[in-house]
Amino acid sequence: MKWIIILLFLFTSILIFTGFMQYFFLNNKRMEKRLKYYLELQDKKKLSRKKFNILVQLHLYRQSLRGKVSKKKSDKLEQRLTRAGIRMKPEEFILFQWISTFLLGGFFYLLIPSIFVIVLGVSVGYVFPLVLLNFKQKQRLTKFNDGLQDMITTIIGSLRAGFSFAQALKTVVDEADAPIQDEMEWVLKDMQYGTSIEDALNDLKERMPSEDLDLFIQAILIQRQVGGNLAVVLETIVQTIRDRNKIQRQIRTLTAQGRLSGIVIGLLPLVLGVVLYMIQPGYIGSLFQDPIGLMMLGAGGFSGIIVFIMIRKMTRIEV
């Protein structure tokens, strides 16, 4: 019965959390409309009791976060959000991080009412949005690299047909999928607003830190300085990228067993601990109540993380 209640709580928390993010952060038009009705932000007047609204309070709290976060940290976080394709502002992501911290801290407390478990839950809740951000960033970059060869091939065909470079990019925007479509459209808009091709491509390189893209951009910049047939140069770049990706796929195949071993070693203690707790709660529960048990858990978790990182380093080969 206890596990049913915990699972229902977890499921309800996920639904509430998802609805919260969708309603408060991803529906700006509705929020702005209600803000105009309740107050004028320029006057910065406090709401009366009759006009109190959680949407307004969250918006004001988000604005206060914007002032407290340093510009350097905000710009860095905004760059990471842009690379991940997440349409959130830095202060919204920080608020999302705090909400995740409180929710997971409360959930872990329901599992095992212990100070150590609460600290563990709070830590996991704080780190989870950052892990999700890194995952989305790597996923988007991988998808971009997978479509980069087709993008360059499309540009080569357009150049051979007599199109200019800007027209070739427009062809890519019409035919490609996200994220290449989004990034190339961004480059075109920068060029239309008066930004030079060099600056627009350098901004693209900042948003998408891809080695293959860097080869593509360097080839274009060099060609614009010394001249030559850009289509022929890009054909060489495509062949280089194709050979490089082939070697990377072979390396991933050869190191698959080692990477899988690292995942198993990292997850096996956690899965085994949950199973033992479900079979005999008192057997595992004593570890969280005794100081020596807490030290053993900390040492085991630390050593497991070290082994996982070492295996990941050993199986990661740069090409």
Q: pLDDT for 87-103, tens place per residue?
A: 888 878 888 888 888 88
Residue 66 lies in a domain: no
Reported confidence tier of residue 57, pLDDT bands at 50, 70, 90? low
Residue 180 pLDDT > 70 = yes
Structure tokens at 207: 């948003």
- Domain of residue 286: give its range: 255-315
Within-domain flag for 272: yes
Mean pLDDT of 265-289: 79
Position 164 in a domain: yes
- Say whether both 163 and 212 belong to one domain: yes
Identify whether 78 is part of a domain.
no
Domain end call among 196, 220, 243: 243
Residues 231 and 153 in one domain: yes
Listed range (16-20, 175-179, 286-290) with the worst mean pLDDT:
16-20
Higher pLDDT, 5 or 128: 128
Within-domain flag for 3: no
Split into its structural domains, the chain has a count of: 2
pTM of the model: 0.68
- Out of 43-47, 232-236, 293-297, 301-305, least confident range: 43-47
Q: How far apart (Å, rounded) are the C-alpha atoms in residues 277 and 275? A: 5
Q: What φ, ψ does residue 223 adopt, rounded to 5°?
A: -65, -35
Range 44-64 average pLDDT: 51
Residue that finishes a domain, picked among 182, 214, 243: 243
Query: In the prediction, which pLDDT does 18 show?
Result: 63
Distance between CA atoms of residues 91 and 70, nearest Å: 11
**pLDDT at site 235:** 92
Say which CATH number the domain at 195 has: 1.20.81
- Over residues 225-272, the pLDDT tens digits come to 888 888 999 999 999 988 888 888 888 888 888 778 878 877 888 888
Query: H helices of the chain, where?
Result: 2-24, 28-38, 54-68, 71-84, 90-111, 115-160, 165-175, 180-192, 197-207, 211-226, 230-254, 256-279, 281-289, 291-315
Whether 311 and 289 map to the same domain: the answer is yes
**How far, in Å, CA of 7 to CA of 2, rounded?**
9
The residue out of 243, 275, 293 marking a domain boundary is 243
**55, 29 in Cβ contact below 8 A?**
no
What mean pLDDT do residues 18-43 have? 55
Residues 185 and 263 occupy one common structural domain: no
In a domain, 197, yes or no: yes
* Cα atoms found within 13 Å of the Cα of residue 185, Cβ hemisphere only: 10
| Cα dihedral across residues 174, 87, 121, 131: positive or negative | positive
Q: pLDDT tier at 153 (50, 70, 90 boundaries)?
A: very high
**Residue pair 59/24 in contact by the 8 Å Cβ criterion:** no
Residue 236 covered by a domain: yes
How many of the other CB atoms lie within 10 Å of CB of 249? 10
If asked whether residues 175 and 236 sit together in one domain, one would say yes
CA distance 315 to 308: 11
In a domain, 299, yes or no: yes
